[in-house]
Structures are given as C-alpha cells and as structure tokens.
C-alpha cells in the first residue's frame, strides 16, 4: 500500500515539476515566468519530498526529519523569494 502512495506522489511531483519547468521556458514575460516555478515546481518538489519522507519513515521505523525540514524551508522561502524578485522587477521598470 505504501508503495502505491509513494509512486503516486513521485509521479505527481514529477508532473508538476515538468509543468513548472516548461512554463519557465515557454511563458512570454518575466512575471508569468516567475509564476510557473514558484507554484508548480514548488508543489512538485514538495510532493517528491513527502514521498521520500514517507518511504524512509516506513523503512527505517524513524521519523525522517531531514525531508520534513527541507519541505518546510522550501514552502517558506519560495514565495518570499518570488515576491522579492517581482518587487525588484517592478522597481526596475519604472
């Protein structure tokens, strides 16, 4: 059962990471290109990290704290860095 959940999370994470990466390349201007990796890729990497955390928690019978901390800092820093880049771009255009 855990293998199915982990597989679904990895596939979901890979899909969102791929969509975010394609959006980074294909979207026309800076602000839409900034939106793709901060939303889709963050969700994709987060799903892969949750799958990794579940896998190592089940196989080693310990709570996998490394992946939980990485996920926490990823979800904390990605929106803040995107906001700072967007504000810097707004100031440079004026």
Torsion angle of alpha carbons 79, 80, 81, 86, nearest 10°?
Answer: 80
* Average pLDDT of span 45-65: 89
Give the pLDDT confidence score for residue 29 in this predicted structure. Answer: 87
For residues 30-49, give the mean pLDDT.
87
Is pLDDT above 70 for 30?
yes
> Could you count the other beta carbons within 10 Å of the beta carbon of residue 40?
20
Measure the CA–CA gap between 74 and 53, rounded to whole angstroms.
14
């Amino acid at each position: 059962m855990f293998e199915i959940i982990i597989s679904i999370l990895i596939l979901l994470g890979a899909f969102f990471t791929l969509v975010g990466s394609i959006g980074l390349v294909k979207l026309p201007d800076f602000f839409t290109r900034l939106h793709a990796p901060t939303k889709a890729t963050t969700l994709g990497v987060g799903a892969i990290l949750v799958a990794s955390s579940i896998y190592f928690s089940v196989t080693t019978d310990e709570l996998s704290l490394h992946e939980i901390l990485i996920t926490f800092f990823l979800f904390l820093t990605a929106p803040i860095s995107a906001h700072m880049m967007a504000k810097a771009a707004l100031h440079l255009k004026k």
